[in-house]
Amino acid sequence: MALTGVQIFKLLPKTNCKKCGFPTCLAFAMKLAQRQAEISACPDVSEEAKATLGDASAPPVRGIMLGTGDKSVKMGEENVMFRHEKKFVNPCAIALNLSDTLSDDDLAARAVEVAASEIDRVGQKLRVDAVSVEFASGDAGKYADAVKLVADKAPEAAIILNCTDPQAVEAAVKVVAARKPMIYGADEGNLDAMVALAKEHKLILGVSADGIEAVMDLTRKAKEAGVDDIVIDTGAKTAKDIIEHNTQIRRSAIKKGVKELGYPVINNCMRDDTMVEANVAAVAIAKYASIILLNHIERWKNLALFTLRQNIYTDPQVPMQVPQKVYEISDPAADAPLLITTNFSLTYFIVAGEVENSKVPTRLAVMDCEGLSVLTAWAAGKFTANKIAQFINETEDFNAVSHKELVIPGQVAILSGALEDKLPGWKITVGPREANGLPAFLKNKTA
Segment 311 to 350, residues that bind other proteins, using CB under 8 A: 311-312, 314-320, 345-346, 349-350
446 near other proteins, rule: CB under 8 A: no
Of the two residues 35 and 201, which places its CB atom closer to other proteins in the complex? Answer: 35
The distance of closest approach from Cβ of residue 203 to other proteins in the complex, given in angstroms and rounded to an integer, is 27
Using CB under 8 A, pick the residue from 19, 174, 359, 427 that binds other proteins: 359
251 near other proteins, rule: CB under 8 A: yes
Of the two residues 15 and 436, which places its CB atom closer to other proteins in the complex? Answer: 436
CA angle 108–232–313, rounded 5-degree value: 80
Of residues 403 through 442, those in contact with other proteins by CB under 8 A are 414, 418, 421, 436
CB atoms within 10 A of CB 217: 15
Beta bridge partners of 405: 427
3-class SS of residue 395: coil
Of residues 80 through 109, those in contact with other proteins by CB under 8 A are 82-87
Of the two residues 180 and 382, which places its CB atom closer to other proteins in the complex? Answer: 382
The distance of closest approach from Cβ of residue 174 to other proteins in the complex, given in angstroms and rounded to an integer, is 36
Of the two residues 144 and 442, which places its CB atom closer to other proteins in the complex? Answer: 442
DSSP 289-354: -SEEEES---HHHHHHHHHHHHHHTS-TTSPPB--SEEEEES---TTS-EEEEE-BHHHHHHHHHH
The distance of closest approach from Cβ of residue 438 to other proteins in the complex, given in angstroms and rounded to an integer, is 13
Of the two residues 173 and 212, which places its CB atom closer to other proteins in the complex? Answer: 212
259 near other proteins, rule: CB under 8 A: no
Of the two residues 54 and 381, which places its CB atom closer to other proteins in the complex? Answer: 381
188 near other proteins, rule: CB under 8 A: no
Using CB under 8 A, pick the residue from 234, 252, 343, 347 that binds other proteins: 252
400 near other proteins, rule: CB under 8 A: no
Using CB under 8 A, pick the residue from 38, 104, 192, 298 that binds other proteins: 298
Of the two residues 73 and 212, which places its CB atom closer to other proteins in the complex? Answer: 212
CA angle 406–410–413, rounded 5-degree value: 75
The distance of closest approach from Cβ of residue 430 to other proteins in the complex, given in angstroms and rounded to an integer, is 14
Span of 68-76, 135-143, 167-175, 242-250 interacting with other proteins by CB under 8 A: 242-250
Please give the DSSP secondary-structure letter assigned to residue 36.
S
Which residue type sits at 339? Answer: L
CB atoms within 10 A of CB 104: 10
C-alpha dihedral over 147, 115, 297, 250, to 10 degrees?
A: 80
Span of 61-69, 181-189, 293-301, 399-407 interacting with other proteins by CB under 8 A: 293-301
Q: Phi first, then psi: what are they for 433, rounded to 5°?
A: -70, -40
C-alpha dihedral over 426, 432, 434, 436, to 10 degrees?
A: -110
Of the two residues 175 and 376, which places its CB atom closer to other proteins in the complex? Answer: 376
Burial class (CB in 10 A: 0-12, 13-18, 19+), 82: exposed
29 near other proteins, rule: CB under 8 A: yes
Using CB under 8 A, pick the residue from 112, 334, 379, 400 that binds other proteins: 379
302 near other proteins, rule: CB under 8 A: yes
Using CB under 8 A, pick the residue from 125, 381, 393, 446 that binds other proteins: 381
Where do the H-state alpha helices sit in 340-437?
345-358, 374-379, 385-394, 416-422
Of the two residues 52 and 314, which places its CB atom closer to other proteins in the complex? Answer: 314
List all residues 6 or more positions away from 217 whose beta carbon is below 8 Å from its beta carbon: 209
List all residues 6 or more positions away from 433 whose beta carbon is below 8 Å from its beta carbon: 409, 410, 411
Using CB under 8 A, pick the residue from 216, 265, 326, 366 that binds other proteins: 216
Using CB under 8 A, pick the residue from 119, 196, 225, 270 that binds other proteins: 119
Q: Phi first, then psi: what are they for 28, rounded to 5°?
A: -65, -40
Using CB under 8 A, pick the residue from 20, 287, 363, 367 that binds other proteins: 287
Count of residues that interact with other proteins, criterion CB under 8 A: 88
Distance of alpha carbon 351 from alpha carbon 305, whole angstroms = 27
49 near other proteins, rule: CB under 8 A: no
CB atoms within 10 A of CB 77: 17
Q: Do 156 and 117 meet the contact criterion of CB atoms below 8 Å apart?
A: no
22 near other proteins, rule: CB under 8 A: yes
The distance of closest approach from Cβ of residue 24 to other proteins in the complex, given in angstroms and rounded to an integer, is 4
List all residues 6 or more positions away from 63 whose beta carbon is below 8 Å from its beta carbon: 74, 75, 76, 77, 90
Please give the DSSP secondary-structure letter assigned to residue 249.
H
Which residue type sits at 44? Answer: D
Of the two residues 109 and 346, which places its CB atom closer to other proteins in the complex? Answer: 346
* Helix H or strand E encompassing 205: strand 205-208
Using CB under 8 A, pick the residue from 98, 169, 222, 286 that binds other proteins: 286
